[in-house]
Structures are given as structure tokens and as C-alpha cells.
Amino acid sequence: MSEKVKEIATEDFQRTKVLAQNAVRSGAYLYPIKGIAYFFTHRSLWKPLISILAPTVTLGLGVTAFMFAFTYPPQAAVLTVLNGPLAALTTILLVLSESSIIFSVLSKSFLIDGALIDTFDGTLVSRNMTGIVSEGRQIRPGSDPISKLGKIIKRPFAKFTLKAIIRYFMYLPLSFIPVIGTVLFIILQGRKFGPSAHERYFQLKQMSSRQKEEFVEKRKAAYTSFGVPAVLLELVPVAGVFFAFTNTVGAALWAADLEQHNTTAPGLRDQAKKAE
């Protein structure tokens, strides 16, 4: 039995090692940082964020203040028993995570959905990807990337689904495990966040559900490595809304690089049209 356990542990370790190596080689973890730099140096991309800034910041402050006032004390009491001196830190991370998911549900459902689409498309246009953007919206003449964006033909960013919320709370108990549990929780959230950041790209490429699944499966390490730092950035209270936009910019930059380096499946759009 002990030999079998060792064999399984070795296989799991090797599988994890390969995934980690693929994640590092992909460089996808750099795109959230690239998104911040690109956003700051391209002022035209600020317009969608500025248009919704005041109500979104107010919402973020309200949600975070409410969660710390009413949920921090009872959760800290429970985690003190389980985590000891680390309870203060793990409870803060837990409440921030809870605040983040509630804020994301509310803001992306009611406030910033359209602004994120404009940011993603505008970033692609600024990278001379007008052709692919035209698959999802009208393009107007001009030089400013955001001003060139016309009427949206297809709206891709799905609002938070019940399944996503249930999955979040299923993973939440991991946060009660000292240190390693919080790390696992962030990784699991990042694994789901990565592909969702490219939903607009998948739509513009006219990928079917099966093609999208295959595309993501081949790059699951890269998507996780993108998702983990992106999730951590969006956990920052209030500023998380700013990072939602820079993460969107980073995702669009990655999509542009995929296009330029021809790493997407050849003839994918034609295949999708035939499938229809």
C-alpha cells in the first residue's frame, strides 16, 4: 500500500511540476502587469473607466465597509481557533475575497459590463487588431481607439451565473486551512478567472463551445498563471475596480499577441462558420 501511495504522490508531483513549468514558460502571468503599464501609457483607454468611476467606487467602499463591520468579527473568532496567530491575516484575506465576489457580482452585472467590453475592444484596436474587433461590433473611422468603437453587434461578457457563485462558496472553506488553504483558494479562483478573461476573444474568433474548451485545455497552465495575479489584484478593496480594467487590458494584449504569433488554431473562424 505504501508503495502505491508513493507512486500516486510521485505522479501528482510530476504532473504539478509540468504544469508549473508550462505556466512559467508561457509568460501569461506577466500580462496583468503589462495591462497596468499599457493602461497608464494609453490615456484613450481611460474613458470607459472614468465614465463609471464614481458609482463603482461608492459601491466598492460600501460593500467592503459592510463586510468588515458585520462579517469580520464572527469569522475572526472561528479562524482564531483554527489558525491561531495567523487568524488576523487569514480573516482579512477571507473578508476581502468575499467582498470582492459580492462587488464583482453587483458591479459587473449593473455598472461596468459595457465599459469592460469597450476597454477590451479598444485595446485590440490600439494593437491594430481592428479586423477581429469588427467581428463583434461596428468600427467608425478615426484615430482614437475608443472613439472608433461603434455599436456592439454581440455582447460577450456573461454576468455572474449561479453556478459561479455556488462554486465560489464551495471553495471558500479552504480559507479556514492555515496559509496553504488560502493559497489553494486563490489558485482555484485564478484557474476559473483566466479563461473568463478571454470570453470576448473567443467570441470574436467565433469559437464554438467545443473549440473554446480545446483551446483552453491546451493552455490551462497559462490561463491559471494569468488568473492568479489577476485575482489577487482584484481583491484589493475599492482599487479592485481599477484592476478589473487593467486585467481586461492585459487579457486583450495577450489575445493580440496570440493573433500576431499565430498560436490560435488555423482556420478556426472558417471551421466555426461551417459548424453553424
Cβ-proximal residues to 75 (8 Å cutoff; 6+ apart), any chain: 91, 94, 95
Contact 231, 190 (CB under 8 A): yes
**Residue 107's pLDDT is what?**
82
Contact 239, 29 (CB under 8 A): no
pTM: 0.77
Of the pLDDT bands very low, low, confident and very high (cuts 50, 70, 90), residue 44 is very high
The average confidence (pLDDT) of the chain is 81
Find cell 463551445 and name the residue. 209
- Mean pLDDT check: name the lowest of 1-5, 54-58, 266-270: 266-270
